[in-house]
Amino acid sequence: MFGAVAAYPLQDTVLLPERIGELTGLNGFGLGGELLATFLAAFIIGNLMLAMTGVAGPWAKRKITAAFTDRIAVNRLGPAGIFIIVADAVRLLSKELVVPENADRPAYDLAPIVVAASALLGFAVIPMGSGIHLADPEVGLAYVFAVSGIASLGLVMAGYASANKYSLIGGLRAVAQNIAYEIPLVVTGMSVVIFAGTLQMGEIVAAQHETLIEIAGISIPSWYALVNPFAFVLFLVANFAEVGRNPFDTPEAPTEIVAGYQTEYSSVYFVLIYLGEFLHIFLGGAIIATIFLGGPAGPILPGIVWFLIKIWAVFFATQWLRSAVPRVRIDQLIEIGWKGLLVLSFANLVLTAVIVGLLA
């Protein structure tokens, strides 16, 4: 019952550019029409993610944190303080852009763009349900890991180019952290590939629509979070480290190194870095939802609604940890990654391969 009502590939296998091309008649204009339809599809998906980030950063983050810490959050501008989003946008974008005198200007200017763009590129292969899917290449999971990893380059550029020791330390911490946790993240993701037999994101979602077990007439879908909860927990922890959320926010560590790699950024550049940070949280949530939680699958509601519920749930978890868990030291962080998650992720991969081989 559950798996049949909202399965992404069963519900709609037409990619968004194709649908736009059909609705607008652009498919009849050959390659130019296809490119324009793809651009329009990318514009829709990109703005959807940017809108969510605009809500999450200035408003939702404050509301969730206030609820956990028994404080009053923004409540003056509009209902429940929702217009703080507009106020923050005006305030930050109208500030003077201050550039350090000895900054490496090309790298300093490019770093915020690299951080934000790397996250947006990742959404290109994520099936969001209701036909909202830009592309579905055969190497989709490898692609999303590759482009999301580009963000660490942007953080290093920001730290180095700022001509600030705190920024440099933050950049070095960021690359050390990303290397330590990117490997367990990818290795754990490969255990999902062993189950699904493909790197294609749409097919990974489709593979999770079989019935795992039926209880009292209710079919429980074979989401990989239920099939392999150990891998799910490993991936969740590695993802929190990848996006730099508590207890793994050592690259910014305000109590130690001011704000790390973003110390010398202001105005629109600060907005881009902040935007990139939250885009990566949502991208991490999108990957988790796709490869472990059945993607846009769910009962009654449209697929896109279920997809957004799942990635907002991951965002909620990051803010929960931010309020409840203290930051670990940098040496502890690296030790957890190399001595803990790395070993466990390879153990999970081997165990998954053995189980799948025995069941084949």
Mind listing the pLDDT tens digit for each residue in 81-102?
888 888 888 888 888 888 888 8
Angle at 230 between CA 226 and CA 231, to 5 degrees: 85
Q: What is the pLDDT of residue 2?
A: 41
Q: What is the pLDDT of residue 360?
A: 67
Rounded CA separation 93/95 (Å): 6
Q: What is the pLDDT of residue 17?
A: 78
Q: What is the mean pLDDT of residues 334-356?
A: 89
Give helix 267-292 / helix 150-161 axis angle, nearest 10°. 160
The 10s digit of each residue's pLDDT in 60-79 is 888 888 888 888 888 888 88
pTM of the model: 0.89
Mean pLDDT of the chain: 83
What are the b/e assignments for 220-259, b being 16+ CB within 10 Å?
A: ebbbbbbbbeebbebbbbbbbbbbbbbbbbbbbbeeebbb
| Residue 71: strand, helix, or coil | coil
The 10s digit of each residue's pLDDT in 107-158 is 888 988 888 888 889 898 999 887 888 888 888 899 999 888 888 888 888 8
Angle at 235 between CA 226 and CA 323, to 5 degrees: 105
Which of the 8 DSSP states describes residue 248?
A: S
Taking alpha carbons only, the member of 339, 308, 336 closest to residue 250 is 336
Inter-residue contact 285 to 308 (CB < 8 Å): no
Q: What is the pLDDT of residue 1?
A: 38
The 10s digit of each residue's pLDDT in 223-248 is 888 888 999 999 999 988 888 777 88
The 10s digit of each residue's pLDDT in 172-206 is 888 888 888 888 999 999 999 998 888 888 889 98
Tokens in use for 331? 């040496």
CA distances from 42 to 36, 46, 273 (A): 10, 6, 21
Q: What is the pLDDT of residue 8?
A: 40
Q: What is the pLDDT of residue 30?
A: 67
Rounded CA separation 325/75 (Å): 26
Say whether the peptide bond before residue 137 is cis (omega within 30 degrees of 0): no
Taking alpha carbons only, the member of 143, 138, 294 closest to residue 206 is 294
Q: What confidence category does residue 4 fall into, taking pLDDT thresholds of 50, 70 and 90? A: very low
Q: What is the pLDDT of residue 215?
A: 61
Which of the 8 DSSP states describes residue 211?
A: E
Q: Exposure of 78 by Cβ count < 10 A (0-12 exposed, 13-18 middle, 19+ buried)? A: middle
Q: Give residue 107's identity as a one-letter amino acid code.
A: A
Domain ranges of the chain: 2-15+98-359
Rounded CA separation 13/130 (Å): 9
Which of the 8 DSSP states describes residue 237?
A: H
Inter-residue contact 240 to 194 (CB < 8 Å): no
Radius of gyration of the chain (CA): 21
Using the predicted structure, report yes or no on whether residue 288 has a pLDDT greater than 90: yes
